[in-house]
Amino acid sequence: MSGAEKNDEAYMRLALEEAATAGAEGEVPIGAVVVCDGEVVARAHNSRETDADPSAHAEFSAMVAAARELGRWRLTGCTVYVTLEPCLMCAGLMVNARVDRCVYGAADPKGGALGTLFDVSHDPRLNHAFEVTPGVLADESAELLRGFFRERRAARRSSRQTS
Ligand SMILES: [Zn+2]
C-alpha cells in the first residue's frame, strides 16, 4: 500500500467516526472530513433530522465549515472524504467549491453522483473537474449503514407489536 493510500484510509477512519456519531444521534450514519494541505480543516456528520435541513448532508456541512475555517469559498487544495458516495447536491457543491479531490467509501446505487448514477466530477459541460477515489473502507461504511437500517426496522417491528 502506498503512503497516499494509507493516508486516505486514516482520513476515512475519521469520517467513519463522524458517521458513527450521526448514527448515535438517530441520523443515517454518514460522515465526512475535509483535508487541506495534509491538515483536517473540518469534520461533520449527517444532521438532516436534528437540524430539519435537507442540505445537512455530512460532506455538504463539512465543505461549508471548511470554507469558513479557511476564510475562502474556493476549496482549492482540499480533498473531501465521505463515507458514502455523494449525491447530486453534494457533488454539485464540490464543483462549485472547486475541490481538488473526493474520496468516498461505499457506492450509492440510489443516488450516487460520482460515478454510479451520474458522474459530475468529469462532465465537460461544467467548469470544474476533480479527481475521485472510490471504495476506500467501503465495507465499513456500508456495514454502518446496514446496521443502522436493520436496527431501525427491528425497532419499528417491536413498536408495532406493543401498540
Ligand atoms: Zn449529499
Dist. CA 92 → ligand 1 center (Å): 9
The residues placing their C-beta within 5 Å of ligand 1, an ion, are 57, 87, 89-90
Which is nearest to 8 in space by CA: 102, 115, 125, 130? 102
pLDDT of residue 163: 57
Q: What is the pLDDT of residue 3?
A: 79
Q: pLDDT at position 4, please?
A: 79
Active site annotation includes 59 = yes
Distance 23 CA to ligand 1 centre (A): 16
> What pLDDT does residue 161 have?
76
The CA-based diameter of the chain, rounded to the nearest angstrom, is 56
Residue 162 pLDDT = 67
Q: Which of 5, 9, 25, 59 is catalytic?
A: 59
How much is the pLDDT for 2?
A: 76
Please report, for residues 105, 125, 159, 161, the alpha-carbon distance to residue 138 in angstroms, rounded to integers and kept in the order given.
4, 30, 32, 35
* Closest to 137 in 3D by CA, of 91, 93, 104, 101: 104
The residue with cell 454502518 is 144
Distance CA 40, CA 155 (A): 36
**Contact assessment for residue 124 and residue 147, using Cβ atoms and an 8 Å cutoff:** no
C-alpha span between 41 and 90 (Å, rounded): 18
Number of H helices, E strands in the chain: 5, 5
pLDDT in tens, the chain (163 residues): 777 788 999 999 999 999 999 999 999 999 999 999 999 999 999 999 999 999 999 999 999 999 999 999 999 999 999 999 999 999 999 999 999 999 999 999 999 999 999 999 999 999 999 999 999 999 999 999 999 999 999 999 988 876 5
CA of 143 to the centre of ligand 1 (A): 19
